[in-house]
Structures are given as structure tokens and as C-alpha cells.
Structure 1
Amino acid sequence: MVLQKESVKALDEQTATLQSYICSPEKQKSLYKRTLFVVSISQIFGGAGLAAGVTVGALLAQQMLGTEAFAGLPSAILTLGSAVAALFVGKLSQRYGRRTGLSAGFIVGGLGAIGVIIAAIINSAYLLFPSLLVYGAGTATNLQARYAGTDLANSKQRATAISMTMVFTTFGAVAGPNLVNVMGNFALSIGVPSLAGPFILAATAYILAGVVLFIMLRPDPLVIARMLEATNQEPIDKGHLTATEHTEDKKGIMVGATIMVLTQIVMVAIMTMTPVHMRHHGHSLGAVGLVIGFHIGAMYLPSLITGFLVDKLGRTTMAIASGTTLLLAGLLSAFAPGDSIVLLIIALSLLGLGWNFGLISGTALIVDSTKTSTRAKTQGSVDVLIALSGAAGGASSGMIVAGSSYLTLSLIGGILSLLLIPVVIWSRGSEK
């Protein structure tokens, strides 16, 4: 009986706390800023975690299987795991809030990285692939975290809010590939294969990201946003509070999803086989890490500028810029000499930048087109499509290179990016 009373009292106190945010615009603005800060901290760790699979996943599989035909398989498997995780993280977030969904996703991803380390130690491809599947949860969660910053953002600042959380991923994501040699040496010093070293960093980083969100993301921004929408409150400060759109725009969701799916396919396909392409031309593991580091930096570092441009110039304008940039990246990747690190850095940087344009403009369209009562679930479903498209790009990339060449793969990617232009032209009538 005493425990029941204490439970009821705690619930009442929690409800009162949440209500205090509904009645206080100042508290809402403070929560908006704190949410961006907490998510940004988690993104630093998350960025370091995702870099491991990108940098050495294909090389680890190639070493275990003895062929490059399946070198794209790790990327495909971890993005398939990302697809499954995106669905569950979205549903968890919708039901229990961002804090529960995001922290659970990161911790599961960390456990997957531990599985990869064990697989490398015992040289088991049978353990490697299911572990990569679980590791993909971290990638999905790192991507979905970008939505948390938009829950209390006005429609005119959503892309900027997305970019503010994404830009902090740069610190971890750039550091990760450039720590390949350091972590490889550390792994060897403790009796673990060098290629498993980056996954030691990934396991630690993902688990830390989950802990940060679980402890610090209180009260939950999505819960507050839903309460604001339920009470039909108009925002007082147009720069910070929740917009009050209550209708769902299916066309906007379709277009936003298509933009992100196409950019994901092109980016993952070319990125996955670049390390293998470089190793064929005699580049060291450190050089591979340098190129991938620039690539991932370009994926996230320009986010603040991109977010501003998406809010000012429009979603579809920046989506067209995405397609154009990806085309240039594909052409340069195709025709750059394999021994030129400089040109490969430029090509992979353009690849990351084009992806950045597409992700932020597409994400903003998704947020614009959904309502808070279904937003997290819809976002999770869209991210499933993104992950599956990445899986398709990763799986096919190795087969294309094995059957033809890296040049062919890059040209296909560049041409595919042109499909963005008719999609966004069709969508112009629905842009807000």
C-alpha cells in the first residue's frame, strides 16, 4: 500500500513537471536548447561508433572470406540491421519518447560491435555477419537522433535544428577513421586482430551515447511536443516553439523519403568499395582512413550551413543541389587515378556533401509533412527505407566491382543521382 501511494505520488509529480512546461514558454525554449545540447553530445559518440563499420567492415569481410566479391556484404548487412532497428527505435520513441528509443538503439548497437570483436578473434564469419546486423542498430539510432532536435522547433527552423545535431557527429565520425591505426595497434597489444580495433572504439562510443541520452534527455521533447499539440497551443516565440500543423502531407512524405533513399544508395555504394579500390592501388590503411575521414567529415560538418540554406532557399532547391553534387562525385571517383589520394579525397568529400544536402532537405520535408501524434513512427518507417536502400547499394557495389570495375560503379552512382531532379520538380507544388 505504501509503495502504491509512493508510485501515485511520483506519477503526480511527473505529470506536474510536464504541465509546467506547457504553461511556460521560457521552459519550452530552455528545453529546446538543452535537447539540442544533449543530442549533440550523443552524436559525437555516435559518429565515432558508425565510422568503424564504414572504414574497415569491408576489409574485415574480405580478409575472412578471401574474396572481394562479398566485400560489400558487411555494409549491406549492417544497413539491413539498421533498417530493422529504425522501425523499432521509431516505434519505441513514438510510444515511450525519444529518450527510451534512442538510448536503447545505441546500447544494442554497442553490443553488436562487441560481437564483431569476438568474431574477429575467433575468425568466424558465421558470428561476424549477425553481429554486424546488430551493430547496425547504432547506425540507425545515430541517424534518427537528428529528429529529436526538431520536436520543439518551429517550421522555419527545422532544417537548422537538424543540422545543429548532425554537425556534432563530425567530431566523432572524423576521429573514428583517423584512429584506425591507433586502435589497430591497441587491438594487437591486447591480442585482438588489428581490423577489430575500430570496433572496440565503436562499442565504447555507442554505449556511452546511449547512457548520455538515458540520463540527460529529461523531460522528453517529443512528449512535451505532443502535449503542446494536444492543447492546441500557438507558439509565442516563433523562433523556437512547436509549430501547430495538424495534418499529414503524404506527398511530402513520399518526396522526402525518395530524396533520402536515392542519396543513400549512391553514397553507400561508392563509399563501400573505395577502401577496397584504394588497397588495390597500394594505399595504406592509414590513407584509407584519411580519405574516409574526409568523406564522413563532408557528410556532417557542412550541416549548419546546409540547414540554413534549406530553411532559406527551400527543400527542393537543395535536393537538386544534392543530385548535382553526387553526379560530380561519381564522375570524379570514376576517372580519378587510383594512386591519387588528393583526387579521391575531393571525390569522396563531394559524395559526403551531396548526401548531406539530400538528408537534411529530405528530413525537413518529412518533419514538415507529419504531425506529432504519428511523427516518430513515420520517421522510423522512412528510415527503414533509407537503410534498406543502403543495404542494396552496399550489397550490389561489391558485385559490380567484381564483375566490372570501380569506374563502372561510380558512373552508375552518378547517373542514378540525376533521378533526384525530376522527383523534386514534381514536388515543387507541395513545398512549404
Structure 2
Amino acid sequence: MRSDRKNVLILATCQMLFGSGRSLLMATAPVVAYALAEEKGLATLPTSLVIVGTALATIPAAMIMRRFGRRIGFVLGALIGAAGGAVCAHAVIRGEMWLLAVGAFLFGIFTGFSQLYRFAATDAAEPRFRSKAISLVLAGGVVAAFLGPELAKLGKDLIGSAPFAGGYLFLTAISFLSALILLTLHIPRQTRADRDGPRRPLSKIVVQPVFIAATVSGAISQGVMSLLMTATPIAMQHAHHDFDATALVIEWHVFAMFAPGFITGWMVGRFGELRMIYAGIILQLACVGVALSGYSVAQFWLANLLLGFGWCLSFTAATSLTTFAYTHAERDKTQGATNFIIFAFVALISLLSGALVHYFGWRWVNIGAVPLLLLAALVVWWYSAKPQAQLAPSSSPG
């Protein structure tokens, strides 16, 4: 097997394991926190701290990988994720909200490292294989769509006196398994020529129209997805749906996030990044329309399905577009900056999500997503009017 294909297989497997842990945590943390928190508006705090941890870890993760390589960086991140799962399990057993938040934050640090899986897939890939490599790695989340919530259901009553603690033990196990698999990853480290080649200041890179369009569209796609997905378990609880129904909705949401990844790379190559971002925005707007139509399980299911599918198209295309914003020597700091901006924005959105759904309701959470999606469309339209000479001075971005 060619080395780039082998690396994609390893990264897709680890994306599957990481995604299973993330969907497990996202399905359970709001429900557990709602039970533990005295102030119910803080029910999404642990989920939000996952994203805060992600934002804070993105630049250090990129710099660690620049210094020590992808393999060491990814293994370190997975071990931190395993520690986070153990802390979450201990928090539930002790019934301590703040400890649950700490565990979620640690898993968020793991997420910051894992967000580089999609970029790592492009490191040694041929230019024509890059968009496919990104989409195939993201497609590793297909199994995660069902494995994570099913593990959450299985672990719900595993420890009778501590509901959901068993699920967090599963989270610890799959994170540790990721670390073992990542030991087999072999991505060549950047050569000295690559590291020390011509580099522009980050302030010059981030003002490029291509960087702005890719980062804004990626941030809003991820932000809207997080806003609505984080609020879904609480909204379904308010609508008196049981946890099995919530797990079903999250399963199919995550499935829709990653299943199209098998063809998204081809679609980006066939139709272009900008058209795919527009398509994702339209699907996420359709999600809002369905969500505003009612509170049945079927409506939650369809809204979250459209939300996940729209995210897949927009986020994959935005990631592909980002690779045109930097040269080899600028790779790590640009990827770190992109992920930091995206997840700092998403952290803010997620922190607001719990308060919005608790005090204003599911309807207003969805209405709040509309201006964000329209802003993303406007920025992409603005970029499309710019000359392509604005791309980074490299025909082979890495």
C-alpha cells in the first residue's frame, strides 16, 4: 500500500475513534451537567469547555508537531484525551460538576490535536489526492456516528450508582487505543529547507482573501453545527423525549457529518470549493427551517441530519481552500491560526448555547443561526470576486 494511502487509513481510523468519543461526550455531557448543575443555564458548560480546550490547544499542537513531528504530537493528544475520560468518569461517580468540566476541557485539548488529522492527510499526498485525503479522513467519523451514542447508552447504567460514568470509561479506552494506533503513523517530518524557507508574517497571511474566506466559512459552519447540536439534547429533554431518542438523533447527525466524506473530495474537485461551501450553507439553512417547524423526534432527527450534511460540505471545502493560503514553510503556524480562530469562535457560540436554549428556547437558538450563515455566504461571495492571484505564492501547498 502506498504510504499516503496507509497514512490516510490510520488517520481515518483514529478519526473514527476520536469521533466516537466526541459524540459520546456531546450526547451525554449536557444531560449529566443539567442534572448536576444548580444553575441550569450552565448545563452546556462542559461541552463548551471541550471547545475552549480545542481553541487553546490548536496553536501549541501545531508547534509541537513542527518540532517533534505528527506522530509524537498526535500520541500526546490522545493520551490527554484518555486522561480527560477518566476525570469525567470520576466526576460523575462523585457528582461534581466542576470536575466534569475539567475532564471535558482535557478532552478538548485532545480535540485540538485531532483537528490536525485532516491537514496531516495532505502532508505527503500528491496535490490531486489532497481533497480526497481530507474527505476520507473525515469520513472516518461514519462509524463514530453510531459507536459513540451506542457506547453512551451501553455505559449509562454500567455503574448503577453513577449514570453515564461507564460511558466515560469507554471514552478513556478508545482514546488510549487511538494513541496505540498512532504509533504506526509515518509522515515525513518537514525538511530544514521546508521549515526554513521563505515565510511571511502571520499578519500578512491572515489578511489574504483566501484565508479570510476559508476561515470565516469554516468557523461559521462549525459554529452553527455546534450551536444547534449542543442545544439539541437539552431541547429534546424540554420536549420530554427520552435519552434513547436523543441518542438516535445524535447518531444520525454525526452520520450525516461524515458519511458524505467518501464522495465530498470528488465533489470539491468537480465543482470547486466555493460552490460546495454555498451548498453547505443552504443545507444548514434548511436545517433551521425544519427545526422551526416543530418538536417531534422526527423533526429533531431531520434537522440534525441536514445540519450534519451541510457541515460536511462546507467544512471539507473550507479546509481544502485553506491549503491555498500558505507555503510549506508557513504550514504549521497557518493551520494553527486557522484552527484557533475557528474554535475560539465556536467556544463562544457553545457557551451561549446553553443559556439561549434554557432562557429563550429552541426556536430562538435556530433563529440566531440565520444571520451567521448569511454572513458566511456574503464573505465567500466577496472572495469569489477577487483575482486568484491572491492565493499563496506556491503551486504545491502543504
Common fold: TM-score over 0.5: yes
1:278 matched residue in structure 2: 236
State the alpha-carbon separation in 1 of the partners of residues 129 and 380 from structure 2: 21
1:264/1:389 contact within 8 Å kept: no
1:260/1:386 contact within 8 Å kept: yes
State the alpha-carbon separation in 2 of the partners of residues 396 and 126 from structure 1: 18
SS of the equivalent of 2:123 reads coil
- The offset of 1:388, in angstroms, is 1.4
State the alpha-carbon separation in 1 of the partners of residues 344 and 16 from structure 2: 25
1:38 matched residue in structure 2: 10
- Unpaired segments of 5 or more residues in structure 2? 198-203, 392-398
- The offset of 1:49, in angstroms, is 1.3
The code of the aligned residue for 1:120 comes to V
Q: Is 1:216 matched with 2:184? A: yes
Say which is worse superposed, 151-160 or 266-275, in terms of deviation.
151-160
Structure 2 residue corresponding to 1:346, chosen from 302, 319, 322: 302
The code of the aligned residue for 2:176 comes to I
1:316/1:427 contact within 8 Å kept: no
Q: Is 1:294 matched with 2:262? A: no
Structure 2 residue corresponding to 1:311, chosen from 264, 269, 274: 269
The count of residues paired between Structure 1 and Structure 2 equals 381
Structure 2 residue corresponding to 1:397, chosen from 346, 353, 368: 353
1:94/1:375 contact within 8 Å kept: no
Residues 30 and 248 (structure 1), Cα distance of their counterparts in 2 relative to 1, 3 Å cut? farther
State the alpha-carbon separation in 2 of the partners of residues 403 and 266 from structure 1: 19
2:255/2:308 contact within 8 Å kept: yes
1:185/1:197 contact within 8 Å kept: yes
State the alpha-carbon separation in 2 of the partners of residues 230 and 278 from structure 1: 49
2:170 matched residue in structure 1: 201
Residues 88 and 377 (structure 1), Cα distance of their counterparts in 2 relative to 1, 3 Å cut? same
2:324 matched residue in structure 1: 368
SS of the equivalent of 1:370 reads coil
1:145 matched residue in structure 2: 117
2:256/2:308 contact within 8 Å kept: yes
The code of the aligned residue for 1:105 comes to G
1:238 matched residue in structure 2: none
State the alpha-carbon separation in 2 of the partners of residues 114 and 392 from structure 1: 26
Structure 1 residue corresponding to 2:366, chosen from 370, 394, 410: 410
Q: Is 1:423 matched with 2:379? A: yes
State the alpha-carbon separation in 2 of the partners of residues 66 and 355 from structure 1: 33
2:144/2:254 contact within 8 Å kept: no
2:396 matched residue in structure 1: none
Q: Is 1:159 matched with 2:138? A: no
Matches within 5 A, 1:116-265: 116-188=88-160, 191=161, 193-213=162-182, 215-218=183-186, 220-221=187-188, 223=189, 226=191, 250-265=208-223
Q: Is 1:357 matched with 2:325? A: no
- The offset of 1:268, in angstroms, is 0.7
TM-score where L is the length of structure 1: 0.83
1:323 matched residue in structure 2: 281
Q: Deviations over 1:97-141 (max 9, x none)?
A: 111111111211111111111111111123222221111122223
- The offset of 1:381, in angstroms, is 2.0
SS of the equivalent of 2:329 reads coil
1:84 matched residue in structure 2: 56
The code of the aligned residue for 1:320 comes to Y
State the alpha-carbon separation in 1 of the partners of residues 149 and 138 from structure 2: 18
1:327/1:417 contact within 8 Å kept: yes
Aligned-CA RMSD value: 2.1
Residues 56 and 430 (structure 1), Cα distance of their counterparts in 2 relative to 1, 3 Å cut? farther
Q: Deviations over 1:341-377 (max 9, x none)?
A: 2221110011111111121111111112222222123
2:75/2:178 contact within 8 Å kept: yes
Residues 248 and 383 (structure 1), Cα distance of their counterparts in 2 relative to 1, 3 Å cut? closer
- The offset of 1:67, in angstroms, is 4.1
State the alpha-carbon separation in 2 of the partners of residues 197 and 412 from structure 1: 35
1:236 matched residue in structure 2: none
- The offset of 1:163, in angstroms, is 0.6
Residues 415 and 328 (structure 1), Cα distance of their counterparts in 2 relative to 1, 3 Å cut? farther
2:77 matched residue in structure 1: 105
- The offset of 1:403, in angstroms, is 2.5
2:145/2:250 contact within 8 Å kept: no
Residues 312 and 266 (structure 1), Cα distance of their counterparts in 2 relative to 1, 3 Å cut? same
Which runs of structure 1 show a deviation greater than 4 angstroms over 4 or more consecutive aligned residues?
225-232
Residues 276 and 248 (structure 1), Cα distance of their counterparts in 2 relative to 1, 3 Å cut? closer
Q: Deviations over 1:180-234 (max 9, x none)?
A: 221112233xx5x122232222111112112211x2012x24x1x64795899xx
- The offset of 1:291, in angstroms, is 0.1
SS of the equivalent of 1:216 reads coil
- The offset of 1:64, in angstroms, is 0.7
- Unpaired segments of 5 or more residues in structure 1? 1-28, 233-246
State the alpha-carbon separation in 1 of the partners of residues 44 and 98 from structure 2: 16
- The offset of 1:173, in angstroms, is 3.5
Larger Cα-atom Rg: 1
